[in-house]
């Protein structure tokens, strides 16, 4: 069992674009091994939250911390502790899955043997005959698997996922959920922005609902079934 240590924290985190509030005073704490899903329509502030944790944008107020490191103060250092998987895992088309993973791992400071790299990819669900093929021929699901393999190879404490199951077929989506649960059990904290209410409920311990830059509710996923969660979400969106 892992100690329930806070690994990811948003404290009064806000982002303004001129007069427009993209994120309004977000307060959030995630513990080691926890999976947290953030539901909300487009423009609700989900991706902004992820970008703030990644240090890609500067907050207007507040702080985004991972393992105690403030993203705005040490945007390079914070990335030692996190891995990021966007909606479309973009990799280098001219490189194979193995070469992409080798590059990403090396950039994170990890040099692996070819056998180790292949093992990461196979563990992430990539078929062994695809490992040496150029990524240009990969499906979205295969690229997601390379992304997951990169996160695991990096020994990331926190995984930031932005719409990871969007566009995946049900089988690939199911495999992806299983992977997340395995990572969580191994102690990885997962913060996932998604539209997929069913997957969110299936894998998460907690679910946040976001609207117009504000986190308007946090729910223990086990307290509601998928239908009830969907209804609650729709009610919030109507109000």
Partner 1 sequence: MIRNITQKERISSIRDKRFIILGSIILILLLTSAATGIINYRVLAAERKLAQSTATENFNNQPDRHPHRVAHYGSYAFRPKSVLSFLDFGLDSYTGTMVYLEAHQQNSANFSQVQQSGAMIRFGEMTIAFVMQWLIPLLIIFLCFNTFTLEHEEGTLKVLLSQGVSMKAIAKAKLLGYIHVISMIIFPAFFFVFLFVLSMNNFLLDGDLLLRTAVFMLTYLLYFFIFITGSILISAVNKHSRTALVTLLGIWIFSIVLMPKALSNLGSSFYEEPSKAAMDASVHEESKNGIDGHDPLDKRLAQFKQGLLEKYQVDSLSQLPVNVDGLIMALGEESSSQIYQEHFDELVAIYEDQNRLSVWAGFINPYLAIRNISMSMAGTDFFHYVDFLNAAEKYRYALTQHLNNLQATKVAHKDKTTRLSADIYATYPPFYYKGPAFTKALANVAVSIVALAFWTALIYGLIILTMNKKKNLI
Which 3-state string (H, E, C) describes the chain?
Answer: CCCCCEEEEEEEEEEEECCEEEEEEEEEEEECCCEEEEECCCCCCHHHHHHHHHCCCCCCEEEEEECCEECCCCCCHHHHCEEEECCCCCCCCCCEHHHHHHHHHHHCCCCCCHHHHHHHHHHCCCCHHHCCCEHHHCCHHHHHHHHHHHHHHCCCCEEEEECCCCCCCHHHHHHHHHHHHHHHHCCCEEEEEECCHHHHHHHCCEEEEEECCEEEEEEEHHHCCHHHHHHHHHHHHHC
- Interaction between residue 124 and partner 1 (CB under 8 A): no
Q: Which stretch binds partner 1 (CB under 8 A): 9-17, 52-60, 208-216, 222-230?
A: 52-60
Residues contacting partner 1: total by CB under 8 A: 33
- Interaction between residue 63 and partner 1 (CB under 8 A): no
- Kindly write out the interface string for residues 98-117 of this chain, putting x where it contacts partner 1 by CB under 8 A and - elsewhere: -x--xxx-xxxx--------
Q: Which of 1, 76, 223, 238 binds partner 1 (CB under 8 A)?
A: 76
- Interaction between residue 149 and partner 1 (CB under 8 A): no
- Interaction between residue 230 and partner 1 (CB under 8 A): no
User: Would you say 61 or 107 has its CB closer to partner 1?
Assistant: 107
Q: Which of 55, 164, 208, 213 binds partner 1 (CB under 8 A)?
A: 55
- Interaction between residue 125 and partner 1 (CB under 8 A): no
- Interaction between residue 92 and partner 1 (CB under 8 A): yes
**Contact set with partner 1 (CB under 8 A):** 51, 54-58, 75-77, 79-80, 82-84, 86, 88-92, 94-95, 99, 102-104, 106-109, 134, 150, 154
């Amino acid at each position: 069992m892992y100690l329930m240590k806070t690994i990811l924290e948003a404290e009064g985190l806000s982002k303004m674009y001129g007069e427009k509030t993209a994120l309004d005073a977000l307060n959030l704490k995630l513990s080691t091994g926890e999976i947290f899903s953030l539901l909300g329509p487009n423009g609700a502030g989900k991706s902004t939250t992820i970008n703030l944790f990644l240090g890609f944008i500067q907050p207007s107020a507040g702080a985004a911390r991972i393992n105690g490191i403030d993203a705005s103060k040490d945007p390079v250092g914070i990335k030692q502790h996190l891995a990021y998987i966007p909606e479309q895992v973009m990799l280098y088309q001219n490189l194979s899955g193995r070469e992409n993973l080798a590059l990403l791992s090396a950039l994170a400071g990890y040099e692996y043997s070819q056998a180790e790299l292949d093992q990461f990819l196979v563990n992430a669900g990539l078929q062994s005959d695809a490992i040496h093929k150029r990524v240009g021929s990969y499906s979205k699901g295969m690229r997601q698997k390379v992304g997951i393999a990169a996160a695991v190879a990096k020994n990331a404490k926190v995984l930031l996922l932005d719409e990871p199951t969007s566009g995946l077929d049900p089988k690939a989506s199911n495999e992806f959920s299983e992977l997340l649960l395995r990572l969580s059990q191994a102690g990885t904290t997962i913060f996932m922005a998604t539209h997929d209410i069913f997957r969110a409920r299936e894998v998460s311990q907690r679910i946040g609902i976001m609207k117009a830059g504000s986190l308007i509710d946090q729910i223990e996923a086990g307290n509601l079934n998928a239908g009830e969660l969907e209804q609650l979400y729709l009610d919030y969106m109507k109000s």
